[in-house]
Structure 1
Amino acid sequence: MGHETAVLVEGVAKRFGATRALRGVDLRVPAGGVFGVLGPNGAGKTTLVRVLTTLLLPDAGRAFVDGIDVVADAERARFRFGLAGQYAAVDEQLTGRGNLRMFARLYRLSPRAARRRADELLERFELIPAADRIVATYSGGMRRRLDLAASLVVSPSVLFLDEPTTGLDPRGRAEVWTAVRDLVATGTTVVLTTQYLEEADRLADAVAVIDSGRVVARGAPRELKAMTGSERLEITVPAVDDMAPAARVLRAATGIEPVLRPGSRTVDTGMGGAPGEVARLVRELDAAGVVIAHLNVRRPSLDDVFLRLTGRATGQAA
């Protein structure tokens, strides 16, 4: 395992009773940049992160972080990575400064070094004005930034972020995104699990899609989006009952299985890249008596990739 690889996973499996959470996961995360791990609820994302961060022992397989075996040499591995879970792990009754000093002391820094490191991180994450306030008074975005700061006390080579913007408002999410970009600029490798496909699209250099404990696809976001075709056609019909006839016409005309979104009365399908394809499909729908209330042509998104690969939206359970 060379310096170009930050995380290596080979055949990792994990079972909880009758549930197979991970089914032989193989993964290589290159050093530098952001690597996104996408999957619906129950796909195995958090279980994989817990194995990689020494919180769970795998039933089979091997995993390395920064070249260190996370099972055989767990203690040494813990000094090479940071972890920010789905919910901020800071103590709400301590100040921001107090939290960071506490984490530094847990990592065996001397009192003087702990004070210095806490001050550096407070400045880095723009928390100096709130440093001596108790965390219970912080906004969601501020708590998240403090949690990120705490995960960086030992300057890790790899930072695992497990759905770091869950529950945050748009401003809080934007603050975390900025912090992630700043971390990457300083050389930290970030492994990001998320259900926000926009988040992966904006931040990740490469992504892996996990479904039912297996990696089902991997590549740059643009490469995965190319799997769904060059463009998508969205047809909104007047009533839910009109969706099935529209889907039948589009399926016959394109050879692609459409996606039905009943809540919005929308039928979504991929298209070929031939000139006049939209006009042809509209003629086919009109000839079949399908009324179009609204029509939209758009580029494919990671949502489309997700639906194609897993058959479900990110919020649905695996």
Structure 2
Amino acid sequence: MQPIVSVTNLSKTYATGFHALKNINLAINRGEIFALLGPNGAGKTTLISIICGIVNASVGSVMVDGRDIATDYRGARSLIGLVPQELTTDSFETVWATVSFSRGLFGKPKNPAYIEKVLRDLSLWEKRDNKIITLSGGMKRRVLIAKALSHEPRVLFLDEPTAGVDVELRRDMWKLVRSLTASGVTIILTTHYIDEAEEMADRIGVINAGEIMLVEEKTELMRKLGKKQLTLQLESSLEAVPAALAGYGLDVAKGGNELIYTYEGDGGRTDIIALLKALDDAGIRFKDLHTTQSSLEDIFVSLLRGNQ
């Protein structure tokens, strides 16, 4: 299947000589939730701004559903909705008026039923006649999302959509994103909340210093790069790991009452079975065990540290 967003050899260099993006190649699949992760200044917002036609690229091309953002700007832009980081709305307009106006900017005919559905989905219906200046920060964020959805885009960019908002809105956002993808909308999400990407994304892209470090299926990324730990609570304490078990890289913890075995996320059960047999052969008994696994945040931090 042809990707809905295709970025080819894209670079951005500012007049100061700063290289914000360096030869980016990226394909976003139709209907997926793609999380773009990276530290501040990594190039996330610059990349989104170029795809959305807000910033011009220095080199390279971007296609959105087969439309070139440079040669068919109107066609490409009509397919895209953008929820920016900053709260940028007309403070003295009503919620209904500003969302309806955004739809009209794309030449879409009036559709009150659709606008009502968007406002209801975002819990804004009761606020439809309120001026935006009277709304809380969280409600203003919802208005931005409603504006981005007003023209029925096929690709929705969420640039730090839940930054500084309450837990309730974050959960509402997750619910809305799931419903949008179920209807065929492609979501590109940037976030500093790694748990958000872990909860929502189908694939993960990591960008740092203007370069794409990796693009991977989330489950595959966690399988390949994640680490697991098996912790054994011992019946009798140990001062050190017996020589017969040296090959397993075990660590003694909690005053000798625990043995910790760390293994790669894609390690098979065979290694653990062999370890348990070796423990039994060495006369080491345990009364309980539990496993833990690296989170996406652990993997993300590890990747960035390894790139420094």
TM-score (norm 1): 0.75
Residues in 2 aligned to 1:85 and 1:184: alpha-carbon distance in whole angstroms: 19
Root mean square deviation of aligned Cα: 2.9
- State the aligned residue count: 266
Q: Shift of the alpha carbon at 1:73?
A: 1.5
Segments of 4+ in structure 1 off by > 6 A?
none
- Structure 1: give runs of 5+ residues left out of the alignment: 235-251, 256-268, 281-295
Which residue, out of 295, 305, 308, partners 2:299? 305
Which residue, out of 241, 265, 271, partners 2:263? 271
Residues in 2 aligned to 1:136 and 1:162: alpha-carbon distance in whole angstroms: 22
Aligned to 1:207: 204
Which residue, out of 3, 8, 14, partners 1:5? 3
Aligned to 1:143: 140
TM-score (norm 2): 0.77
Aligned to 2:81: 82
Q: Shift of the alpha carbon at 1:126?
A: 3.0
Alignment of 1:19-58 (within 5 A): 19-58=18-57
Aligned to 1:191: 188
Q: Is the CA contact (8 Å cut-off) linking 1:228 and 1:304 kept in structure 2? A: no
Q: Shift of the alpha carbon at 1:203?
A: 0.8
> Given residue 89 of structure 1, which amino acid in structure 2 is its aligned partner?
T
Aligned to 2:169: 172
Distance 1:95 1:304, change over 3 A: same
Q: Is the CA contact (8 Å cut-off) linking 1:225 and 1:304 kept in structure 2? A: no
Residues in 2 aligned to 1:124 and 1:115: alpha-carbon distance in whole angstroms: 14
Q: Is the CA contact (8 Å cut-off) linking 1:85 and 1:162 kept in structure 2? A: yes
Q: Is the CA contact (8 Å cut-off) linking 1:105 and 1:114 kept in structure 2? A: no
Q: Shift of the alpha carbon at 1:108?
A: 3.1
Aligned to 2:121: 124
- Structure 2: give runs of 5+ residues left out of the alignment: 232-246, 251-260, 279-289
Aligned to 1:102: 101
Q: 1:262-318, CA deviations, whole angstroms, 9 ceiling, x for partnerless residues?
A: xxxxxxx9535543979x9xxxxxxxxxxxxxxx952111112212221189xxxx9
Distance 1:163 1:232, change over 3 A: farther
Residues in 2 aligned to 1:100 and 1:114: alpha-carbon distance in whole angstroms: 11
Q: Is the CA contact (8 Å cut-off) linking 1:306 and 1:312 kept in structure 2? A: no
Distance 1:195 1:125, change over 3 A: same
Residues in 1 aligned to 2:229 and 2:54: alpha-carbon distance in whole angstroms: 42
Residues in 2 aligned to 1:140 and 1:254: alpha-carbon distance in whole angstroms: 51
Q: 1:6-42, CA deviations, whole angstroms, 9 ceiling, x for partnerless residues?
A: 1101110001222211110110100002111111111
Distance 1:22 1:141, change over 3 A: same
Q: Is the CA contact (8 Å cut-off) linking 2:11 and 2:57 kept in structure 1? A: yes
Sequence identity, in percent? Answer: 32
Q: Shift of the alpha carbon at 1:187?
A: 1.0
Indicate the SS of the match to 1:86: coil
Residues in 2 aligned to 1:13 and 1:157: alpha-carbon distance in whole angstroms: 25
Alignment of 1:187-266 (within 5 A): 187-232=184-229
Indicate the SS of the match to 1:227: helix
Of stretches 175-184 and 50-59 in structure 1, the one that deviates more from structure 2 is 175-184
Q: 1:37-63, CA deviations, whole angstroms, 9 ceiling, x for partnerless residues?
A: 111111111000000000111111111
Residues in 2 aligned to 1:303 and 1:40: alpha-carbon distance in whole angstroms: 12
Distance 1:39 1:66, change over 3 A: same
Aligned to 1:240: none
Residues in 1 aligned to 2:229 and 2:23: alpha-carbon distance in whole angstroms: 34
Which structure's CA Rg is the greater one? 2
> Given residue 151 of structure 2, which amino acid in structure 1 is its aligned partner?
V
Indicate the SS of the match to 2:4: strand
